[in-house]
Amino acid sequence: MQVHHDMNAPLSHYYLFTGHNSYLTGNQLSSKSSVDPIIKALKRGVRYHVVITFEDHLSSHLQAKVAKMVTKTFGDMLYCPKSDYLLEFPSPGSLKKRVLISTKPPEYRNSRHGRNNKQKQDQDHSEDEKNSGNKAPDNKWLADAVKVRRLSLSEQELENAAKTHGTDIVRFTQKNFLRVYPKGTRLNSSNYNPMLGWMHGAQMVAFNMQVRPLFGICCCRGRSDKNFNFQGDLS
């Protein structure tokens, strides 16, 4: 495919073709896991570079094991930043044919029973909404003056936050990454209106593509026409 737009700006300046729980074959609760949906996504063109989102709840010890497995699997294709504190995200041009892993920082435990340290970084938001009250804390929109980061919110959390912090969200997405995913009650793999996320600059508006794949595909392709987004995320 011919590239029609400049691919040398920071990655946060682009929209990413993003799927949600791409390994599932049907509903979100009891359907089987398979590599086939991921293969199909790659064949559709989601491969300028690929972002793989891990939703892990592992101890730091197990996270280290996963890191070794990922490094061994992808080898030189794996993008490894030179610093933990990026001033800006790399460009799509520099990430061509690369694989990026997006996940939480290591979770350090303060007891042998696996209790999370209260001072751990809250760089990513859990997709378990039952403890969040569907409301994003106000301070999440305060972008770090030095390093860039990624934040994940459910569709309901974004909707609630946009009512009172719309300007802050737009300011956040000018430099940082915002990922929006379907709320947990969409057990039948239905989808939401993506326009609210896109209007506020969310670069990763994730779709369920298991039951009605054409909806998500058409929305993403319409938004990414002529290389506005020639990259992808396989959550």
In a domain, 48, yes or no: yes
Q: Can you give the CATH number for the domain in which 226 is found?
A: 3.20.20.190
What pLDDT score was predicted for residue 137? 60
Q: Which domain, by its residues, includes 97?
A: 11-103+119-234
In a domain, 144, yes or no: yes
What pLDDT score was predicted for residue 189? 87
In a domain, 109, yes or no: no
In a domain, 34, yes or no: yes
Q: Is the pLDDT of residue 24 over 50?
A: yes
31, 25 Cβ separation under 8 angstroms: yes
Non-local (6+) Cβ contacts of 223 within 8 A are 15, 194, 198, 229
86, 147 Cβ separation under 8 angstroms: yes
What pLDDT score was predicted for residue 169? 93
Tokens at 108, concatenated? 């350090």
End-to-end CA distance of the chain: 24
What pLDDT score was predicted for residue 21? 87
d(CA 72, CA 70): 5
The string of DSSP letters for 184-228 reads: TT-TT-----THHHHHTT-SEE-B--SS-HHHHHHHHHHHTGGGT
In a domain, 108, yes or no: no
115, 109 Cβ separation under 8 angstroms: yes
Question: Where does the pLDDT of residue 170 fall: very low under 50, low under 70, confident under 90, or very high at 90 and above?
Answer: very high
In a domain, 81, yes or no: yes
**Residue 19 three-state SS:** strand
| Each residue's pLDDT tens digit, 137-161 | 666 666 676 789 889 899 999 999 9
Which has more confidence, 26 or 218?
26
196-232: burial string, b at 16+ Cβ within 10 Å, e else: bbeebbbbbbbbbbbbebeebbebbeebbeebebbbb
| Each residue's pLDDT tens digit, 81-131 | 888 788 899 999 999 889 999 886 654 443 334 444 434 434 444 444 444
What pLDDT score was predicted for residue 98? 92
The string of DSSP letters for 25-90 reads: SS-TTTPPB-SHHHHHHHHTTTTSSEEEE------HHHHHHHHHHHHHHHGGGB---S-SS-SSPP
In a domain, 110, yes or no: no
In a domain, 32, yes or no: yes
pTM for this predicted structure: 0.77
Domain count, the chain: 1
Dihedral, CA of residue 116, residue 122, residue 128 and residue 134, to nearest 10:
130
The string of DSSP letters for 120-155 reads: S---S--S-GGGTTT---GGGGS--SS---EEEEEH
